[in-house]
A and B are shown apart, each in its own frame.
Chain A
Amino acid sequence: MEKRPRSFYVLTAFFGLFLLFLYGPTLTIAVLSFQGPGGGLTFPMRGTSLHWFYDLFEQQAVGDIWGSFRRSFALGLMVMVTTVVVSVMGGLAFRKKFAGSTLLFYLIITSLVIPSILISLGVGLIFSQSGLEVHWTTSGFGAQLTWTLPFGLLIMFAVFNRFDKSYEEAARDLGATPWQTLRHVVLPIIAPSLIGVALFGFTLSYDEFARTLLTAGSYNTLPLEIFGMTTNVTTPVLYALGTLTTVFSLIMIGVFLGFAWWGGKRRARAGSDAGKGLI
């Protein structure tokens, strides 16, 4: 193997510092969430305890954390399923140019770049002026979709840009109907990327703040609840909550990545029957 140039070691150090920059602060609050009961928001640690985690479970101390967690989780799943279905349909449609597809494409880009507070404000105004009540399952759900769908669609566009059409042609030549081609050829091939779309759909919804701000109604989602806490909670209970929800996010990411890895393995094992007889 070629000898590593000196720049490799410089860049490795830079990359290491970048990772420290990315993860350091989060790790710091993870450590500080184990503060003793008398500890504050910064070091030094005054003993270690689970005091602040216990605090989280007492309703009065911090507001409706568990209710907002349940809502965020449910909303995340709703947004995830919708994002996957709508993105796949959109991705399939965009493979052919149709009248108006360019306009729609620019709308998707607009949805991505529009300042989130505009969505929040606009959706909030529509609901209030038409006498509807904003609620996380209606206005909040729709507002979040404007953020997750562009990501899902861009992933699907990337996937279909790389899609080998000869598989479909082969299926058609063998007499498969369009639906059979989709169900037994296209979907299995793009399945791993659907896990990616689902991951984006869930996590972006679960953490979304700005687009939910004026659209969630009287029942807060978790990020709104956490932001509310930053103004009036000055104890490490804030860190305990931050640590728990980050751990939850990491678990979800792990589950999605695990699925992707398992799918890849399974495909490598059972995907091809080349050279296994039946001439």
Chain B
Amino acid sequence: MQNILKNKTISGWLMVSPLAVVLLLFLVLPIVMIVAVSFWRATEFSIIPDFDFENYEFLFGSSVTYRVFINTFKYALITWALTLLIGFTVAYYLAFHIRTQTWQIALFLLCTIPFWTSNIIRMISWIPFLGRNGIANSALMSWGITDEPLEWLLFSDFAVILAFVHLYTLFMVVPIFNTMMRIDKSLIEAARDAGANGVQILWNVIIPLTKPGIMIGTIFVVTLVMGDFITVRFMSGSQSANVGRLISNDIALLQYPSAAATAVVLLLTVLIVIGIMLRFVDIRKEL
């Protein structure tokens, strides 16, 4: 018995067995199931095991699919750019302009607390701000910028992106701040002594050293946006679509095989994107 426990592989797997069981039952099996069902047929009331490519043929034969995928990438790209810009600036401020650690921790916590509250509530909370009679419109009209309320503030692509940025900027701030805190301050002093100005230090020292954090943040934001369906549905007032909504609409119509086929394509897309990004960063080393 003692010898068995000394074996690294066996003792390792004993320790991770609960984890492995959870991942097997609730991650691997569901994926297998989705792949299987994507080849099934659906009638009005039930789904029937089968092996035919009809769901995929329909998916790739429809112009809607391409439009929706392009839309999904559009959301991901714009959200990524905005969260990176905001997240980097915030992390940079916290890491290099705040001088005491107590303040750093306090302000960092202030940035992360919303992450632990409900996303749905945070989406709902934009209604009084963006609505037809909301704060934004009243302000714009009282300043004389517009004569009548802007209709595109709520329930539009603008609202969707705004909500994404609102929800997910934290996912950029945290990893970028984490890598910035590990930058050896003497490197920056050395750059300054060598005559670099602030912009040069930022561009040639800080940004290259922060790349792993940026990559991790990017992975989070891109996957969250690409897999989302609820933000798009709620903030666009069901007027825009992304792949997640395509899937959830099929689910609502009980068209599980069709939903599964779309899900398989979405999963592959996300995994390819992540696979490319993981080539640039070793996550385990960066933790």
| A interface list, Cβ under 8 A from B | 1, 5, 7-8, 11-12, 14-15, 18-19, 21-26, 28-29, 32, 41-43, 85-86, 89-90, 92-94, 96-101, 104-105, 107-119, 121-123, 125-126, 129, 142-143, 145-146, 149, 153-154, 157-158, 161, 199-200, 203-204, 206-207, 209-210, 214, 223, 226-227, 230, 238-239, 242, 245-246, 249-250, 252-253, 257
| B interface list, Cβ under 8 A from A | 8-9, 11-16, 18-20, 22-23, 25-31, 33-34, 37, 86, 89-90, 92-94, 97, 99, 107, 109-111, 113-114, 116-122, 124-129, 131, 133-135, 138, 166, 169, 198, 219, 223, 226-230, 234, 244, 247-248, 251, 256, 259-260, 263, 266-267, 270-271, 274, 278, 283-284, 287
Contact B128 A32, beta carbon cutoff 8 Å: yes
Chain A neighbourhood of B229, CB < 8 A: 117, 210
Least Cβ–Cβ distance between B31 and chain A, in angstroms: 6
Interface centre among B97, B126, B226, B266 (most CB of A within 10 A): B97
User: Which residue from chain A places its CB closest to the CB of B25 in the assembled complex?
Assistant: A142
User: Given A26-B117, A29-B125, A230-B234, list of 20 further CB < 8 A pairs?
Assistant: A25-B129, A26-B122, A93-B15, A96-B8, A98-B11, A101-B16, A104-B20, A107-B28, A114-B31, A115-B266, A117-B244, A121-B260, A123-B26, A146-B22, A149-B22, A154-B287, A207-B116, A210-B230, A230-B124, A238-B124
Chain B neighbourhood of A209, CB < 8 A: 119-120, 230
Which of the residues A105, A114, A143, A238 comes within 8 Å of B284, measured between beta carbons? A105
CA distance A112 to B223 in the complex (A): 9
Chain B interface helix/strand/loop/mixed: helix
Chain A neighbourhood of B28, CB < 8 A: 107
CA distance A14 to B125 in the complex (A): 22
Interface centre among B25, B89, B128, B283 (most CB of A within 10 A): B128
Interface centre among B90, B94, B116, B244 (most CB of A within 10 A): B116
Task: Jot down 28 A-B pairs with beta carbons below 8 A, ordered by A.
Answer: A18-B90, A25-B166, A28-B128, A29-B127, A43-B134, A89-B18, A90-B19, A94-B16, A100-B9, A111-B27, A113-B270, A115-B226, A116-B227, A117-B229, A118-B30, A121-B251, A121-B259, A145-B22, A146-B27, A149-B19, A153-B19, A157-B287, A158-B287, A161-B287, A226-B120, A230-B234, A242-B118, A242-B121
Least Cβ–Cβ distance between A182 and chain B, in angstroms: 11
A-B contact count (CB 8 A): 250
Chain A interface helix/strand/loop/mixed: helix
Contact B267 A115, beta carbon cutoff 8 Å: yes
Chain B neighbourhood of A1, CB < 8 A: 99
Least Cβ–Cβ distance between B260 and chain A, in angstroms: 7
Contact B16 A214, beta carbon cutoff 8 Å: no
Which 10 A-B residue pairs are closest in the complex by CB-CB distance? A122-B30, A115-B227, A98-B12, A93-B15, A25-B125, A203-B116, A158-B287, A142-B26, A113-B223, A242-B121
Contact B19 A42, beta carbon cutoff 8 Å: no
